[in-house]
Structure 1
Amino acid sequence: MSSPYLLIIVLMIASWGIQWRLRSKFKQYSLVPLHSGLSGAEVAAKMLADHNIHDVRIISTDGQLTDHYNPTDKTVNLSEGVYAERSAAAAAIAAHECGHAVQHATAYSMLQFRSALVPTLSAVSRFMPWILMGGILLLRTSVIPLGVGIALFALTTLFSFITLPVEFDASRRALAWMDKRGVVTVQEHAMAKDALWWAAMTYVVAALASLATLLYYVSIFMRRR
């Protein structure tokens, strides 16, 4: 078994473990009432107002841990549990998503770079798997199709790694603001930081898995050459 392939398996197992840990932490911290008594939606509203952002809507969305900021329509989308809940976990996630809104409003360079790649990746993702599959099947004839597929997959790997500083920066902004405004106590800050750290780890593992997969395709390409 090749090293990249083994690494992919290890990272898949790690990803499952981190997702389980994140959900466990969120459930644990959701049981701790927030001292300030603010709901996730109220935390989001205060953070946006404090940063003079008045053109972003806060809406509730279905699902669990489906929270995200949409720069296209300028909406902070909070899952049902986060939107109405008054806990350290809800406050952390709401503030984190607003951190992305602050990045957008202040033209944070890494977010701009990431957003610029989205249209290209949306188009590429539709046919990239077929190009890679076709490239492997046609290896005996030509290495060009697989080479093209690898180049396209490299874009998705780049996107995964660009996402990391964007996510870590949003968490940094969220925690700093919550401390400054007294949204969380010292104990609640530790909970919020822990929850956001586990959330960030899901992106780290995803980036490493993408890199391992890229190396796997590259190893196939190099052996054929």
Structure 2
Amino acid sequence: MFLAIENVLCPAEVAAIRAEAAEMTFDDGRVTAGRFAQQVKANAQAAPSPELEAVQAKVQAALMAHPVFASAARPRAMTRLILSRYRAGQTYGLHVDDALMQGVRTDLSFTLFLSDPDSYDGGALEIEEPLETRAIRLPAGSLILYPSTTLHRVSPVTRGERLAVVGWVQSWIRSPGQREVLFDLDRAVQQVHAQDGKTALFDTLTKTRSNLLRMWAEG
């Protein structure tokens, strides 16, 4: 499942992170790439610092509190977040994310865009699919969530600066198909409650969702 989630961060939060990033030191992004991905990775990422830790904590808290992200990802664990930066001429060639990072199985990948798309050219997240390649550039504060199993790239930036937070999730629900069923059930539960309140149908749907979670969640 590919999912664009709007307004994970509000404009003021995005502006504050960009201001903080402007004061940070950035290192060569290849230090966190796998053996073969290093050959095609040319970007920068924020070096460890108390300021970066504050940004990481702020973003992770926003993600965990966002109902759509929580419903779609069912996060059990998350890697340490990376604040990445691409400037003119920088890119990240075609690659697949490592299956294990920092002891976390990577089920889902995400990019949280921090730069307004009008402020830079290029820099699309391009995800390979059997029938087409998706090219994604979202508004600042919005996030794309997608399977870590996919081949993807970041096209070369030709103007401006592309700033983003990237990370990976290990889900309580390993199967993508099962995660999608539960995501659809969440939306159905919300819609039924909004329309009719706590009805017999609402109770049946919540019972079904809970029992599927018991069946599918990894202990």
TM-score exceeds 0.5: no
TM-score (norm 1): 0.32
- Bigger fraction of residues in helix: 1
- Bigger fraction of residues in strand: 2
